[in-house]
Chains A and B, each alone.
Chain A
Amino acid sequence: MTLLAILPIVIPLTGAAIAMLLRRRFQLQAAWAFGAMLTAFVASAYLLWVVWSTGQPVVYQMGRWPAPFGITIAADLLSAIMAAMVQFVFVFGFLYALGAKDKAVRHSTFYPLFLCLVAGLTGGMLTGDIFNLFVMIELVVISGAVLTAMSDDRYGPEAAYKYFLISSVATFCLLFGIGSLYVSYGTLNMADLAARIAADPNQTLLPVAIVLLSVTFMIKSAVVPFHFWQPDFHTASPTPVSAMLSSVVVKIGVYGFLRLTTLLVPHADWLRALLIVLGVLGIIFGGLGAAGTHNAKRMFAYSTLAQIGFIHVGAGWGTPLSLAAAILFTFNHAVIKSTMLMLSGYLASRAPVKTASFSVIRGTGKYAPLAGVLFFIGGMALAGIPPTNGFVSKLALFQSGVQAAQGGDFAATTAYWVPLLLLGVSSIITLVYVFRAVMKIWWEPFAPKSPEEKVKPYGDSLLAPGLLIAACLALGIWAQPLLQLTQDASAWIRQPQAYVQAVLGGETGWQR
């Protein structure tokens, strides 16, 4: 039964290895990869169900080594939600890739790398060992960079180079942080670390380690002063990949922050304050950046900065409701953002030249009315207008902020009201840039530079974004289960001792 915790990681990894063997038979490889992804999603959804219904984390000790010595895979409710979210969105990523017209998708290494990407991401979220987290993040970085380097976009290699260089710096920061934690506390197990940090929070190297880990997670989740790789990277990658990068791959940093502020150092108030400040910066900068772009994919990449800002603000507030809202926001944003990037990619695939630049796709919308409807609903969801899931997550965040702002002193109240004000302003900015895109693509006439340039009669499949939009509406109308789930998760992560006990088996740690 405990083996269930590792299935969402092992299935895509073995699937990737076998898909590599099938590289000469493309159809079979694609079908196999999709099947592996679907199986992995079923496993992670079942894992989430088991964790939620039994109320106990599912913990698997690799090789039956007891907790602080071996590698632990620990699925508490937060990890299980994150893993299920990643794999849910990735199923649609694979579905889009199956119907995509990109040359990159036909390459024999595409599906193995895509499976490695999801395995690394899920592994990073399920692991209970901080060095294993490093390995998984590195798997995500390498497979993401290679997938972008083989993109149809001719600037793919440059974007991959930029991303890889900045990510490597993040990786080195993570390694330095891991080393500092190990020299201070003599363990790499996250639960054991949490227990030891709680027992002795005054180690000299602890603040250094927290700062280094924060830098890593900030680069991973594209928080504003560390975001420079993100718009280029997400614009240049193939559409199925960019839809995944901008929606779930940045969430590894969000997950890292949620773990850091609740499990490892719940006493570090300065870290939470920093998250609020950087989140607010991200909301402003991301919104304005998105409003000034000339490329649909790039616009949504910038919009991710703003949405991640909201999640960080929710994590920074740290009240039970706001943590729940942050997790809910994470889930809903993943669904919406992957849809919008897929729709941008669909328009690019119909355009005379394969790019999502507004100067090329202007007016092509006349030939894609269904995509227009989906784009409109997705834009509503992004701005947070009912009855979509974007509204539910923004409402949850707003409520948690209003409730927490009651009866504090001036500084504390400001920390709540400034983001709340920005929540409204950002929705308006989102509406502005989404409608700017709708006007440019669907309302303006198609004006090719030469008469030979025509809109292609066919493009990528609209099945995946259509299903995701249906999910957006379903999660908006029938929001109660997910809301309940995230509230339970926030109640869990506010009691780190339960996690520690589940992993270490009731003992309070080993004596050196």
Chain B
Amino acid sequence: MEILKALAIGALFGIGLYQLLRRNIIRSAIGLAIISNAVNLFLLSVGAYDGVVEAYAKATGQRSDALPQALILTAIVISLGGFAFVLSLLYVISARYRTGDNDEVKGLSH
């Protein structure tokens, strides 16, 4: 189970990072959303230290640490707001340059 979890977090983070580094600005925004999900999954699995199980593991009679769930809730809300803001920025930028290519969006370089 731990291996599966670790692989899932790693895969999500890898995919997100790959998308973040793509040249298309819309893809990099989506990469941001995927990484935030990797972080949330990591925080969820953080709830499992010795003697405590994660919230999603259905083991009767065992305690679950509630704090990471509160952390994830906060992180989700914040990243949702941030993602909405990024999308609105993308709207402005792509309306100005008529492209999503990072190499064409270069007003800052001069």
CB distance from B42 to the nearest CB of A (A): 5
Whether B20 lies near A165 (C-beta < 8 A) is yes
* Minimal Cβ-Cβ distance residue in A for B93: A157
Whether A158 lies near B78 (C-beta < 8 A) is no
**8 Å CB interface, A248-301 against B:** none
**Which A residues are in CB contact (< 8 Å) with B35?**
168-169, 172
**Which A residues are in CB contact (< 8 Å) with B38?**
172
* Minimal Cβ-Cβ distance residue in B for A173: B39
Q: Cα distance A169–B108 when bound, in Å?
A: 21
**Which B residues are in CB contact (< 8 Å) with A149?**
89, 92
**8 Å CB interface, B32-80 against A:** 32, 35-36, 38-39, 42-43, 46, 49, 67-68, 71, 74-75, 78-79
**Which B residues are in CB contact (< 8 Å) with A367?**
none
Q: How many A-B residue pairs have CB under 8 A?
A: 78
The 3 lowest CB-CB distance pairs between A and B, nearest first, are: A155-B107, A179-B46, A157-B92
Q: Which residue from B39, B85, B90 sits with its C-beta under 8 Å from A172?
A: B39
Whether A175 lies near B75 (C-beta < 8 A) is yes
**Which B residues are in CB contact (< 8 Å) with A145?**
85
- From DSSP, what is the main secondary structure of chain B's interface residues? helix
**Which A residues are in CB contact (< 8 Å) with B93?**
157-158, 161
Q: Which residue from B36, B68, B90 sits with its C-beta under 8 Å from A161?
A: B90
Q: Cα distance A253–B67 when bound, in Å?
A: 26
Q: Does A186 contact B (CB under 8 A)?
A: yes
Q: Mark A169-197, 1 if CB is under 8 A from B, else 0.
A: 10010011011101100101000000000
Whether A155 lies near B108 (C-beta < 8 A) is yes
CB distance from A373 to the nearest CB of B (A): 32
Total chain B interface residues with beta-carbon distance under 8 A: 32
Given contacts A160-B89, A175-B43, A183-B46, contact A135 B108 (CB under 8 A): no
Q: Does A215 contact B (CB under 8 A)?
A: no
Q: List 6 additional A-B contacts (Cβ < 8 Å) besides A149-B89, A175-B43.
A: A146-B85, A158-B93, A165-B20, A168-B35, A169-B20, A180-B46
Q: Mark B14-30, 1 if CB is under 8 A from A, else 0.
A: 00000010000100110
Q: Mark A127-146, 1 if CB is under 8 A from B, else 0.
A: 00001001100100110011
A-B contact pairs, 13 of them (CB 8 A): A131-B74, A138-B78, A146-B85, A149-B89, A154-B107, A155-B108, A157-B93, A158-B108, A165-B29, A168-B35, A178-B71, A179-B68, A182-B71
**Which A residues are in CB contact (< 8 Å) with B90?**
161
Q: Which residue from B28, B78, B81 sits with its C-beta under 8 Å from A165?
A: B28
* Minimal Cβ-Cβ distance residue in B for A145: B85
Given contacts A155-B108, A175-B75, A183-B46, contact A161 B39 (CB under 8 A): no
Q: Cα distance A131–B82 when bound, in Å?
A: 18
* Minimal Cβ-Cβ distance residue in B for A179: B46
Q: Does A159 contact B (CB under 8 A)?
A: yes
**Which A residues are in CB contact (< 8 Å) with B85?**
142, 145-146, 164
Q: Does A162 contact B (CB under 8 A)?
A: yes
